[in-house]
Amino acid sequence: MINRVVLVGRLTRDVELRYTTSGAAVGSFTIAVNRQFTNANGERDTDFINAVIWRKSAENFANFTSKGSLVGIEGRIQTRNYENQQGQRVYVTEVVVDNFSLLESRAESEARRSQSGSNNTNNFGGGQQRSQGNFNSSSSQNPFGAPASSGNVFNGGSANSQSSNDPFGGGQEIDISDDDLPF
């Protein structure tokens, strides 16, 4: 049997971090994921998917993300049920997260937060521009020609922050819509 889920989307709210009576951290959150196709009005619908993450991963996830953060999560779908205070059976379906990836740099995240504070609008990934950057791994030679730094560093940003060694650069931003992407 296979039960694997991989999602990329934006957090709809800050992670709610709690602790069990035994001291295990548990974080719950909702991720907004755009559908690949458009509806009759030409707009993309969005699915809001509940997820839960446990232990040290939950603490790290809560510390490094906030509402609107672009994240990738991997896990499994779990369905559980319980009886509420009114005696009714409640069914819950959620993704239990095993791994996560932060998909935007801290600078992009802070810029988005300051921008959303001024105009207070949220676009959970639909039709927005993605900034370009280069990723340097800890190997001694970067295959893209630039010398690698120690550790994993993402230098996200605009044309102003691109180095002259960037083979994809030239100071121009690439205009790619979500429809052009294969995933």
Q: Are 69 and 11 in contact (CB under 8 A)?
A: yes
What's the pLDDT tens digit per position in 112-159?
777 766 554 444 444 433 333 333 333 334 444 444 444 444 444 444
The pair of three-digit structure tokens given for residue 119, joined into one six-digit string: 């105009």
Whether 17 shows a pLDDT value over 60: the answer reads: yes
pLDDT band at 42 (very low <50, low <70, confident <90, very high): confident
Whether 93 shows a pLDDT value over 90: the answer reads: yes
Domains delineated in the chain: 5-102 (2.40.50.140), 110-171 (no CATH)
Q: Are 50 and 80 in contact (CB under 8 A)?
A: no
Provide the H-helix boundaries in the chain: 55-64, 106-119
CA angle 104, 117, 101 (to 5 degrees): 20
pLDDT band at 173 (very low <50, low <70, confident <90, very high): low
Among 22-36, 73-87, 106-120, where is mean pLDDT lowest?
Answer: 106-120
What's the pLDDT tens digit per position in 50-74?
999 999 999 999 988 888 899 999 9
Buried b (16+ CB within 10 A) or exposed e, 131-155: ebbbebeeeeeeeeebebeeeeebb
Give 48 or 147, the one with higher predicted confidence.
48
